[in-house]
């Protein structure tokens, strides 16, 4: 097992007819905070976001590899946001968890939005990171999108390093840091990658957001994101009634890495602070 998962419980779970590799952190520890259900970016395995799970040490954390990604077996049939949100909800049932705070990055931000609307009763707060409303999005730079479409970005380390700044921004320092992140990535299978692309084909949350997304929502964007430009975060903020937008200055698509301390502080402040706000409101009402 990778060193970044040394504090995680990793298992293969049968969930709704699918086999998924699941990682959980601290679910057996007492906490005053709800656990986080995290949806990863396209083609990204659990290890890529494990450092965030470690950083949010005051709460439980749940993440799984999508079918055909990481160490989850290839999907036998395609899936869509509805079926995968249902699968994630079944996973929570199996783990004995009722309510969660939901987070998602990039592609996973779309899944997080869908889950929060489809399973509103068990979603308390929502954090959307470097993401969009789906089909109705302002596209990134053609140079970055061309490289995004090439699966070599996962399979060929030299290709990734050569194009890293075009894809993810210049805020990650020396190449050692880039290689460090690359070492956490495992290429998805061709079928897993294709099915994940197909999952969001034609999907958009835009018409539903003003009416169905009632949870308090934190939208985090980088102002130098070549893949999902800041305009998309502003669009989400306009559509989601109970939202706030935080912009990472100089942040590219992976500002969770380049602006790690600032990002964790914003997430923790939002998730922990809202609980304090609720207690304050109850005290005032009394």
pLDDT in tens, 2-39: 789 999 999 999 999 999 999 999 999 999 999 999 99
| pLDDT of 1 above 70 | no
DSSP 88-133: HHHHHHHHT---EEEEEETHHHHHHHHHHHHTGGGEEEEEEES---
Q: Picking from 6-10, 72-76, 134-138, 146-150, which range would have the lowest pLDDT averaged per residue?
A: 146-150
* Residue range 101-107: mean pLDDT, rounded: 95
| Inter-CA distances, 53 with 7, 14, 61, 159, 226, Å | 10, 23, 6, 28, 26
Give the active site residue among 85, 106, 189, 263: 106
Residues 156, 158, 159, 161, CA torsion sign: positive
Structure tokens at 259: 């602006």
- As separate numbers, helices (DSSP H) first and strands (DSSP E) second, the chain gives 12, 8
106 belongs to the catalytic site:
yes
**What is the pLDDT, as a whole number, of residue 48?**
86
Task: Write the Ramachandran bin of 261: left for phi over 0, alpha for psi from -120 to 50, otherwise beta.
Answer: alpha
Does the pLDDT of residue 278 top 50, yes or no?
no
Phi, psi values for residue 129, rounded to 5°:
-120, 120
Asked if 230 contacts 247 with a C-beta cutoff of 8 angstroms, the reply is yes
Model pTM score: 0.87
> What is the mean pLDDT of the segment spanning 197-210?
95
Is the four-CA dihedral 196, 185, 162, 157 of positive or negative sign?
A: negative
CA–CA dist 6, 142 (Å, integer): 39
């Amino acid at each position: 097992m990778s060193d970044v998962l040394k504090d995680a419980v990793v298992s293969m779970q049968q969930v709704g007819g699918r086999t998924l590799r699941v990682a959980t952190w601290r679910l057996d520890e007492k906490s005053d905070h709800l656990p986080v259900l995290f949806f990863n970016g396209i083609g990204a395995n659990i290890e890529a976001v494990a450092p965030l799970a470690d950083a949010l040490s005051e709460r439980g954390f749940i993440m799984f590899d999508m079918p055909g990604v990481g160490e989850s077996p290839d999907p036998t049939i395609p899936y869509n946001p509805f079926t995968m949100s249902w699968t994630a909800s079944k996973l929570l049932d199996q783990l004995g968890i009722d309510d969660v705070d939901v987070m998602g990055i990039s592609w996973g931000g779309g899944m997080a939005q869908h889950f929060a609307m489809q399973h509103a009763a068990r979603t308390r707060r929502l954090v959307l990171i470097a993401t969009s409303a789906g089909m109705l999005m302002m596209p990134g730079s053609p140079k970055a999108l061309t490289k995004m479409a090439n699966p070599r970005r996962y399979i060929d380390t030299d290709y990734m390093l050569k194009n890293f700044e075009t894809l993810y921004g210049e805020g990650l320092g020396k190449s050692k840091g880039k290689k460090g992140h690359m070492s956490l990535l495992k290429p998805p299978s061709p079928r897993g990658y294709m099915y994940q692309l197909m999952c969001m084909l034609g999907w958009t949350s835009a018409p539903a957001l003003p009416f169905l997304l009632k949870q308090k929502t934190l939208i985090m964007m980088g102002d130098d994101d070549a893949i999902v430009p800041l305009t998309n975060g502003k669009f989400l903020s306009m559509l989601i009634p109970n939202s706030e937008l935080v912009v990472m200055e100089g942040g590219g698509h992976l500002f969770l890495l380049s602006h790690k301390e600032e990002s964790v502080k914003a997430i923790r402040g939002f998730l922990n602070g809202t609980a304090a706000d609720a207690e304050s409101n109850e005290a005032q009402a009394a």
